[in-house]
Chain A
Amino acid sequence: MSEKPPAPIVRLRDITKSYGMGAAKTQVLRGVSFDVEPGEFVALVGQSGSGKSTLLNIIGGLDQPDAGEVEVLGTDTLRATDAERAGIRNHSIGFVFQAFNLLDHLTVLGNVILPAAFSRDAKDPQARGHEALRRVGLADFASRRPGELSGGQKQRVAIARALFNAPSLLLCDEPTGNLDSETGKEVIDFFRELNAKDGVTLLIVTHERRVSSVAKRVIAMRDGMLVETTDEELAAAHGGGPA
């Protein structure tokens, strides 16, 4: 008897999305469909404006498509209520942004445990926050303010926040875009380890070939559509970014 294959963690079908109205209307996504299986490390590459970030936001429930089907962790997020989508973001999805998005008025620990504020079953958030900071190598920075940190440290705090609730899916939008190459490499290594050891599914939007090169699968986009990922197109998708 053959085992039933695990359900995809992300399932997208014919996703379309446009911004603006009338003559100013811009079609950002044109019928995008793909699946992400549990434990995958997927890089979403493409030139600026190709729709990668929009797609990532739709998967994370931060944006809504005009049409199509979105299933994340077995939940049809288009039919789910706002509270249900918020619950999925809180418990099962971690976000890492290019601009870090840390709150300057909170301490490093306060930023990390921010998701606990919206959770009804957050147990011992302080201890879990410290643990998340230890994992990213910032155990001694808990009481600092984001303004006192370097770019790489800020991104590690953002990663600790994303990992706070031990998510099944980590969505990263250009996580190394604001980092120097050395720090970027550290972050990439951390993601690879996270995927390999903890089995966290990673979907990373990136321009950088060094990021996509460590991914197990690369999905390339052009003009709101998925395209074949030949080496030439990959290079074009990366826009000649750092190798």
Chain B
Amino acid sequence: MMPARNLVRMVVANTLRSRRHFILSAFGIVIGIATFVVFLASTEQVGTVLEKIFPVEQVQVIAPRASLLGKDISKKLDDSIVEKIRSRPEVDRADPTAVVPRMTLAFPAFGRGDFEGNDLKFEVGGFADGINPDYVTDDDRTRQLFKDWDGMKDDPKRVACVPPPKDPNEEVIQSPPAHRKVERAGVYYNPCPQPDRYYCDEVDSQCHHRVPIVMSPTMIELYNGQFAKSHGLPIADTDFVKFVTQRGGLSAMRFSIGLGLTTIAGTNSNISQHKVRRVEAVLVGISTKAMPIGMTMPIQYIQRWNREFLGEDAATAYSSIIVRLKDRNQIAVFSQWLQDELDLRLEDSLGEKFATALFVIRLVLVLISLVIITISSINIAHNFFMQVTERRRELGLLRAVGAGQLDVLLVVLGEAALIGLIGGVLGLVLGVGLASGVDWGSAHYLPRFPYKPDSWFHFKWWIVLGGLACSTGFSVLGGYLPARRASTMEPAQALTQN
């Protein structure tokens, strides 16, 4: 076999000397690879956005609703169930966050906060749940603040204070402001140390850390896409810390929760009015582990409040259990076990449905681009057959001066591979160019909406490498038969070609 360096040199020289042949052969590949990478990059990005909205790497175990004579007899999701799930072989026992119970706030609550001069009022009951703080590991800052502060009895800032007076005309009062140098008479100021994080609790007249809250990216997207625009509020940056800092620190993220209060008539009939009280909360971060629509806090708060307002049963019954399986392919086995052994089931996952739809769309798009590449591969075969015929005499001469069949085969295949590689690179450039154009158009002409991505394309390394491998592979495939013909032709006959 000829030396590799000589082979490369000859292949490059042969490829570059015939521009017509190169353009005819590479054109289809360029188009094919451009569509291939654009389709893959766009579905990849859509997949990433969908996973943000519906995390598909985890499943949610719920108890089917059942009632008898008006009494709820649904299976109770408690710690024993959590342990049984944790012991399953489909679950990674070593991972403490593989099985995470969630508990919803099971009674009405009402929130009120001031944000950028807007008096915001909202229902919290039904839109709040709790999870183990260890599960929220999105960033260091959130990890530091997302704790059960009320469970820390030795908190040095737990000092005595005078709580704000109740306003009989308000459902729940706004979180009072911090001390100022110049204070207005008759206004209550938060007397606690570190007032951006602590407030004076009306039950024990001590300073408590505000209940830390995390929200899902979905909430932020909804805020940005719907709420911020209509209320003239600033768009929340993807960098939440920056957003909070720009608003004036954590203090701007505080709000009150009236436990046991609601504006929905008849929903808190079983709540004793003397239990109604006010706590303060603070939004400390964004977490993919937060409930999609609502707010999430450390589960200990929910357990204590459910116990306080509804009793022990409500404090030990989880609303759902989030399970991350070792392998998503084991979902059927796990689901069957849940049904057979525990009489539980998996929540229908919108994410899974979207993921399936996306998979089918991606398959169709990739098939379309593969059809284009296959056609271009056939085109390459056709062009190379023509080339081999035109170059019979040249190929015969190569044999006469010492080229073996393998050398000729490699020369022709090398030319096909090089055309494929260059076509692939040009296809990538075209694809990235098209994607940039679409992104530019999207940024300038498409209105903002929830989860609108900055780019509709994610050119992952495997897409780029896959595109190049595909273009080279299909070109080599197209060039193979002509190369075989070139290598097996009788040199004596080839040399007599006119």
Contact = CB atoms under 8 A, between A and B. Distances in A.
Contacts of A82: 404-406
A63 interface: yes
Interface stretch (B183-191, B204-212, B369-377, B394-402): B394-402
A89 B400 contact: yes
Contact of A60 (B2, B397, B400, B490): B400
B403 interface: yes
Contacts of B17: 105
B402 A89 contact: yes
A154 interface: no
Question: Max chain A CB contacts within 10 Å: which of B399, B403, B492?
Answer: B492
A97 B495 contact: yes
Given A83-B1, A83-B406, A117-B10, A54 B492 contact: yes
Given A62-B399, A101-B393, A83 B492 contact: no
B404 A86 contact: yes
B405 to A, nearest CB: 5
A91 B397 contact: no
Nearest to B497: A99
Contacts of A103: 394, 397
Contacts of A97: 495
A129 B276 CA distance: 102
B6 A95 contact: no
B407 interface: yes
B491 interface: yes
B70 interface: no
Interface string B457-492: 000000000000000000000000000000000111
A31 B412 CA distance: 37
A91 B402 contact: yes
Contacts of B232: none
B3 interface: yes
B400 A95 contact: yes
A165 B372 CA distance: 47
Interface in A57-97: 57, 60, 62-64, 82-83, 85-87, 89-91, 95, 97
Nearest to B400: A95
Nearest to B391: A103
Question: Max chain B CB contacts within 10 Å: which of A91, A114, A118?
Answer: A118
A118 B495 contact: no
Contacts of B393: 101
A119 interface: yes
Given A83-B1, A86-B407, A101-B393, A118 B401 contact: yes
Contact of B492 (A57, A90, A105): A57
A87 B394 CA distance: 18
Contact of B401 (A63, A85, A89, A120): A89
B490 A87 contact: no
Contacts of A87: 402, 404
B401 A90 contact: yes
A103 B495 CA distance: 12
Contact of B2 (A64, A101, A117): A117
A57 B17 CA distance: 30
Contacts of A85: 404
A115 B6 CA distance: 11
Nearest to B7: A117
A161 interface: yes
A63 B2 contact: no
A29 to B, nearest CB: 13
A81 B175 CA distance: 92
Question: Max chain B CB contacts within 10 Å: which of A62, A87, A91, A105?
Answer: A62
Contacts of B1: 83
Nearest to A117: B6
Nearest to A125: B6
Contacts of B400: 60, 62, 89, 95, 101
Nearest to A84: B404
Contacts of A83: 1, 404, 406
Nearest to A114: B401
A62 B496 CA distance: 12
Contacts of A161: 401
A86 B406 CA distance: 10
B401 A62 contact: no
A91 B402 CA distance: 8
Nearest to A63: B492
Interface in B383-439: 393-394, 396-407
Contacts of B403: 86, 117-118
A95 B401 contact: yes
Interface in B303-330: none
Contacts of A115: 401-402
A205 to B, nearest CB: 13
Contacts of B2: 117-120
Nearest to B9: A117
Contacts of B3: 120
B394 A62 contact: no
Contacts of B401: 89-90, 95, 114-115, 118, 161
Nearest to B494: A62
18 contacts: A62-B490, A83-B1, A86-B402, A86-B405, A86-B407, A87-B402, A89-B399, A90-B401, A97-B495, A101-B393, A105-B17, A115-B401, A115-B402, A116-B6, A117-B10, A119-B2, A119-B402, A120-B2
Interface of B: 1-3, 6, 9-10, 13, 17, 393-394, 396-407, 490-493, 495
Interface of A: 54, 57, 60, 62-64, 82-83, 85-87, 89-91, 95, 97, 101, 103, 105, 114-120, 161
